[in-house]
Amino acid sequence: MTNLSEKHIVLGLSGGIACYKAAELCRALVKAGATVQVVMTEAAAQFMTPVTMQALSNRPVYVSQWDAREPNNMAHINLGREADAILVAPASADFMAKLLHGRADDLLSLMCLARPLDKVPLLLAPAMNREMWAHPATQRNVAQLRADGTHVLEVGQGDQACGEVGDGRMLEPEEILEDLIAFFQPKVLQGRSVLVSAGPTYEPIDPVRGITNLSSGKMGFAIARAAREAGAQVTLVAGPVSLATPRGVQRVNVRSAREMQEAVMAAVPSAQVFVATAAVADWRPDQAADQKIKKDGSGQTPTLRFTENPDILAGVAQSERAQSGALFCVGFAAESHDLLNHAKAKRERKGVPLLVGNIGPATFGQDDNALLLVDAQGAKELPHASKLELARLLVQDIARRLAV
Ligand code: CTP
């Protein structure tokens, strides 16, 4: 099961230097399981050859509205009707202006105008010089296109082909792919605010050493991504991991359990769901040394004394917000054995309505997992799958509980 399996995407290219990224995007779409039909404007064909796009999409490319290959000679109807979505990347300033006015003097704009509005969504990835992007005409057009139901993606920021620096770059292919995958997910958490803690914590012993654990943060990052895909505003409080932040997610980096607690508590007042996936260190060294602890040559080892860290989840679960039902708390349990019993006991001890159990050593660092959802009624298994698939199922489960 890949992210875009069974999806048929019409990938439109209008004229712009960002066409060079469309080749990579096409590959990424195919790799994600989509079938891709490329339609290019004549201007786009100045920047990227149809030969390249045909090779990458494994289908003949359409450029002209007079293309006679279709038996009924209506490529603009046939191509659009088959699509699960039309994605124009790059969408030039001129092409967006054209769409806005319902003009249709080339195959791509003709196909966009002729598409059934209720069945075939249109996504645009704008790409242009920063002055063109900032121009009131373009901004007006973007606002009107959105009001007409077109899904206009954000633009990137940074170096531009013209040598200037600013807003207007086309998003990177991987970013467009992530946005497209998110677009197809059901918006079961639309308008909700979700807080996720993820990763290990790091408790310093001295300036160069510390205690941490094997949590990779992948499950928590997948949950943050799935919640965002489902339409939520997401804050992700992350321990020290080097994972990329899911698109549209607000990330707060922390190191120690106490820093994590502070960041979580700051976000609790506006959150409606808290999912605590972080593997918080249970103890921290009593006193972190200011300077590196050195061997003194005697063979004597230093003695470490520990203090218990605050239990972040239990604290949040006892907050007024959680107790009043305004905040739904979900705990995680990483166990090594006897998962069901430990998860049941932990759910009660933490005072949370839902606790998700998993076998720590089997999942730490991996891309897949299996989950056991334990609530007051009993337990339900989410069988072995990728962490992202499991995260989406968990998000749907949480959304159902919120709806009751
Ligand atoms: N948790 C937390 N703060 C802590 C310890 C744990 O918020 N100081 C949260 C975790 O994010 C997770 C849940 O509590 O959602 C359970 O974490 P886990 O490490 O499995 O349990 P512990 O409470 O540490 O119990 P034990 O180590 O004895 O299994």
Q: What is the pLDDT of residues 324-373, one digit of tens each?
A: 999 999 999 989 899 999 999 999 999 999 999 998 788 888 899 999 99
Asked whether residue 145 is domain-assigned, the answer is yes
Span from the CA of 279 to the centroid of ligand 1 (angstroms)? 6
Handedness of CA 43, 49, 51, 55 (dihedral sign): negative
For residues 273 and 378, state if they share a domain. yes
The residue count for the chain = 404
Do residue 51 and residue 167 come from a single domain?
yes
State whether 136 and 242 are in the same domain: no
- Same structural domain for residues 234 and 87? no
Is residue 292 domain-resident? Answer: no
Residues 241 and 134 in one domain: no
Q: Is residue 294 part of a domain?
A: no
Whether residue 286 is predicted with pLDDT greater than 70 in this model: the reply is yes
Position 356 in a domain:
yes
Buried-state track 167-186, b at ≥16 Cβ within 10 A, e below 16: bbbbbebebbbbbbbbeebe
Question: 111 and 65: one domain?
Answer: yes
Q: Based on the domain organization, do 238 and 118 belong to the same domain?
A: no
- The binding-site residues of ligand 1, defined as CB within 6 angstroms of any ligand atom, are 197, 257, 276, 278-280, 282, 309, 311-313, 331-334, 346, 350
Q: Angle of helix 50-57 relative to helix 19-31, nearest 10 degrees?
A: 10
pLDDT at 1: 55
Closest alpha carbon to 92 in 21, 32, 35, 14: 14
Closest Cα to atom 12, ligand 1: which residue?
A: 332
Q: How many domains does the chain have?
A: 2
Residue of 346, 352, 356, 372 to test ligand 1 pocket, by largest number of atoms within 8 Å of CB:
346
| Residue 113 pLDDT level (bands cut at 50, 70, 90) | very high
Ligand 1, atom 18: nearest CA belongs to which residue? 333
Q: Residue 288 falls within a domain, yes or no?
A: no
Q: Is the pLDDT of residue 17 over 90?
A: yes
Q: How many angstroms separate the alpha carbon of residue 4 from the centre of ligand 1?
A: 35
Report the percent of the chain where pLDDT is more than 90.
93
Identify the residue whose C-alpha is closest to ligand 1 atom 4: 311
**For 137, phi and psi rounded to 5 degrees?**
-65, -45
Cα 348 to middle of ligand 1, angstroms: 12
19, 26, 162, 329: the active-site residue: 162
Same domain, 198 and 154: no
CA of 323 to the centre of ligand 1 (A): 19
User: Are 205 and 323 contained in the same domain?
Assistant: yes
135 with 157, same domain? yes
CA distances from 119 to 85, 86, 99, 258 (A): 8, 11, 18, 49
Q: Ligand 1, from 282, 309, 342, 373: best to mutate by most atoms within 8 Å of Cβ?
A: 282
Q: What is the CATH number of the domain that holds 86?
A: 3.40.50.1950
Last residue of a domain, one of 155, 184, 213: 184
Task: Lowest mean pLDDT of 123-132, 319-328, 359-368, name the range.
Answer: 359-368
Predicted local confidence at residue 362, as pLDDT: 80
Among 109-113, 207-211, 262-266, 332-336, name the one with the lowest average pLDDT: 332-336
Kindly state the average pLDDT of the residues 280-301.
Answer: 93
- Statement: residue 2 has pLDDT above 80: no
Determine the Cα–Cα distance for residues 153 and 124; give it in Å rounded to an integer. 6
Choose among 331, 324, 332, 321: nearest CA to 268.
Answer: 321
pLDDT of the residue at 361? 81
Residue 313 covered by a domain: yes
Residue 162 designated active-site: yes
Mean pLDDT across the stretch 368-388?
95
Q: What element of type H or E holds 180?
A: helix 173-183
Boundary-marking domain end, from 184, 216, 240? 184
Whether residues 81 and 160 share a domain: the answer is yes
- Shortest-distance atom of ligand 1 to CA 278: 11
* Per-residue tokens: 24: 């990579």
The residue contributing the CA closest to ligand 1 atom 24 is 282
DSSP codes, 225-263: HHHHHTT-EEEEEE-S--PPPPTT-EEEE--SHHHHHHH
Does 263 lie in the same domain as 219? yes
Range of the domain at 363: 193-283+306-403
**Tokens representing residue 227 in the block:** 């919640």
Atom number of ligand 1 nearest to Cα 342:
29
Q: Which residues contact 367 (CB under 8 A, 6 or more apart)?
A: 218, 386, 387
Minimal-distance CA residue to ligand 1 atom 20: 333
What CATH number corresponds to the domain at position 310? 3.40.50.10300
Is residue 296 assigned to a domain?
Answer: no
- The closest residue, in CA terms, to atom 21 on ligand 1 is 333
What is the pLDDT at residue 23? Answer: 98
Does residue 2 lie in a domain region?
no
CA distance 344 to 354: 10
Domain C-terminal end among 184, 215, 239 = 184
Backbone angles phi, psi at 176, to 5 degrees: -65, -40
Average pLDDT value for the chain: 96
